[in-house]
Amino acid sequence: MNQDMGSDPRMSLKMTDRMSREDCFQFYCGPSVPCFTECCRKLDLALTPYDVLRLYTRLDKSPSEFLEDYTVIKAGSRHGFPEVFLKMDVDGEKLCPFVSKNGCTVYEDRPGACRIYPLGRASSKNRSTDLNEEFYFVVREPHCRGFEQTKNWLVDEWLSDQDLEQYNRLNDQLMELYMLGFRRGSAQFSTQQLQMFMMACYNLKKFREFIFRSSFLTKFELSSEDIELIRENDVILLEFSFRWLKFALFGIPALKLKS
């Protein structure tokens, strides 16, 4: 149930399905709704790098521990990069490990796909401006009774209420890498390149060690302020990792080499 579709070229929606931030929909979810937590079972939940960062921080685990204990890594995507999925309980129900009868036990740090539901988010290129424009759509699953409730939302209100701004901003940067992978076509990434991707996106502890314990900082022009920020702030380090991967994997000058 990854509802952030980014710029996936497989995504095809009628114009009548598309919603702007000013459009309205009716929905409410909570313990009083008969289907409460039904959306937390029988699903494949892809985790973005920011999802993983929030969850391992919440659980007080190292990135390696979290990936080992709570995820399954799958290859074979059309963009060429591995994808990380939440490991569901193996009881036939594929139940989320963080759900209880009272709801989500990591609610404040739940993944972006859980936050945005029942909406999906995608983007398409405006032919006249050549810019990507985001749009939204309602995901209606048969079990969901939330649409029967009388709470009305503007899309923009929902995004704010679910605290999605930073999730969307960071996920958009991941989607840029995915699109570069799509455009690369049949060319395969090497094992080393895939390891670079996994380290930089999903194991910020190792990526930070790589930056500060190798010759990395002798190669790139970074201000002392930038160096301190990536040393101390995981979100800024994650954004830096996306820039580095653009440079290292695709030759895009997102970072500047020293003379």
Residue 124 CA to residue 182 CA, distance in Å, equals 15
Q: Is residue 255 within 8 Å of residue 247, measured between CB atoms?
A: yes
Q: Is the peptide bond before 253 cis (omega within 30 degrees of 0)?
A: no
Q: What CA–CA distance (Å, rounded) separates 70 from 88?
A: 8
Angstrom distance (rounded) from CA 138 to CA 118: 6
Phi, psi of 61 (to 5 degrees): -120, 160
61-85 CB burial, b ≥16 within 10 A, e <16: eebeebbeebbeeeeeeebbbbbbb
C-beta of residue 236 within 8 angstroms of C-beta of residue 242: no
What confidence tens digit (pLDDT) does each residue in 113-172 have?
999 999 999 977 677 776 778 899 999 999 999 999 999 999 999 999 999 999 999 999
Residue range 209-223: mean pLDDT, rounded: 96
Say yes or no to pLDDT of 9 above 60.
no
From the list 131, 135, 175, 133, the residue with the least C-alpha distance to 155 is 135
Rounded to two decimals, the pTM is 0.90
User: Per residue in 17-64, pLDDT tens?
Assistant: 899 999 999 999 999 999 999 999 888 999 999 999 999 999 999 999
C-alpha 201/C-alpha 52 separation (Å) is 9
What is the token pair recorded at 173?
């940067």
pLDDT value, residue 185:
75
Using DSSP's 3-state secondary structure scheme, residue 239 falls into: helix
In this predicted model, which residue has the larger pLDDT, 16 or 138? 138
3 state DSSP class of 84: strand
Confirm if 60 and 8 have CB atoms less than 8 A apart: no
Write the pLDDT tens digit of every residue in 61-76.
999 999 999 999 999 8
Cα–Cα distance, 133 to 122 (Å, whole number)? 8
Give per-residue burial for 164-173: e unless 16+ CB within 10 Å, then b.
beebbebbbb
Structure tokens at 31: 């313990």
**What is the pairing mode between strands 119-125 and 4-6?**
parallel
CA–CA gap between residue 43 and residue 62 (Å, rounded): 25
φ, ψ of residue 257 to 5 degrees: the values are -75, 150
Residue 237: which pLDDT band, with cuts at 50, 70 and 90?
very high
Return the biggest CA–CA distance within the chain: 64
Query: For the chain, what are the domain ranges?
Result: 4-173, 189-250
